Amino acid sequence: MRNRILIAAAVLLTACGAVATPAPTAPPAAATKAAATAAPAGGKVVRIGYIANSINYGFYVALEKGYFKEQGIDAQLLPTDGGSDAVVQVASGAFEVSGSGIAASMLNAVQRGIAFEIVASLHTERPRVASPLVVSKKRFDSGELTKISDLKGKKVATNNRGTATEWWLSSALAKGGLDIKDVEVVGMPFPNIAPALENGSLDGAILTEPFATAAEDKGLIKRLSEDFIKDFYPTYVYYNKQWATANPDLAQGFVKAYLKAVRDLQGDGRYAPENLAILAKWTKSDVEMLKRMPLPYFDPNGGTPIDHINTLQTFYRKQGLLTYSTDLDMQQFINRKYVEAALKEMGPAEMK
């Protein structure tokens, strides 16, 4: 089970961003059109980029419960390396749809001219957050690191620089009266964090699930803060603009299927046996572990708050992670027409 846990968590919050990768060569227009219009038994093919094993996707439920099929869509989930990679690939035409985060590398790619549409939100967190601020349990028990302010001047990790995980860290530190500049921020893969805390080479970290629960079960870490984020949206669903324009019925159907799936994941629905089984399958995780984890939340109305996107843009600039000096107008990339049409038909729903 340990191996399955490690696989599942390695990319959990990389859905919020990662180091930029070179833009792939766009497939020929004819090939892209053929992929989008081919009609196998399951429907027309729609290629969807996602972070392999990440728990942040309602796509899994929409696929496994047949919601995409109901809309005439043969959904093909294709893994990416994370971060801006999924956004760059959807912009190039390698995917029709992708789900990923607002990362510094993604914003730098936007400034260089990539184009896409943001059509809905992907996930958010609430207390108990799925990515808590943690320290070594033995250093907590010794009285050395018992409160957030004790991390001043210390080395604190996120999974990668320039991702929403870094915003998580900043928000957690603020709860203890610290600015992110009061600590030394380093990037460290999630699998390495608990051992680094244990051996003293690291003082604190944002550690995502299920690593946090696994390390806690072993007596390696102590959760120092897990109530610092509520309904902040770091990740979104992206469309290839050319594909959506050429295939409005598929674009509309995708959003309808997606919202139907995330509505299944509201409240206790996240822990319903059939949904846990689907999450376990796609994250290569363990159902019993998932039952004990704080799982992500999903907006049943697909909200796309521009102020959250701008908050991340401003934050990355303050960290010196952007290659441009004037804020990008990210509103131009948001297209709400698909969500609005779906809500007109389905009606609004309460986020639980």
Q: Is 9 in the same domain as 119? A: yes
Is residue 352 a part of any domain in this protein? no
Residue type, 48: I
- Choose one of 166, 191, 225: the last residue of a domain: 225
**pLDDT value for 110:** 92
Cα–Cα nearest to 159, from 213, 211, 235, 92: 211
pLDDT at residue 21, as a whole number: 33
Q: Is residue 207 part of a domain?
A: yes
The per-residue pLDDT for 82 is 61
Mean pLDDT calculated for residue range 336-345: 98
Q: Please state the rounded mean pLDDT for residues 57-82.
A: 94
Going by C-beta distance under 8 Å and a sequence separation of 6 or more, which residues neighbour residue 290? 210, 271, 276, 279, 280, 283
Per-residue model confidence (pLDDT) at position 236: 96
| Average pLDDT along the chain | 87
pLDDT band at 38 (very low <50, low <70, confident <90, very high): very low
Residues 119 and 240 in one domain: yes
Express each pLDDT in 146-203 by its tens digit. 999 999 999 999 988 888 899 999 999 999 999 999 999 999 988 899 999 999 999 9
Residue 23 above 80 pLDDT? no
Give, for 166, the enclosing helix (H) or strand (E). helix 164-175
Q: What is the pLDDT of residue 18?
A: 38
CATH code for the domain in which residue 146 is found: 3.40.190.10
Tell which wins on pLDDT, 55 or 223. Answer: 223
pLDDT digits (tens, 9 = 90+) for 214-259: 899 899 999 999 999 999 999 999 999 999 999 999 999 999 999 9
| Structural domains of the chain, count | 2
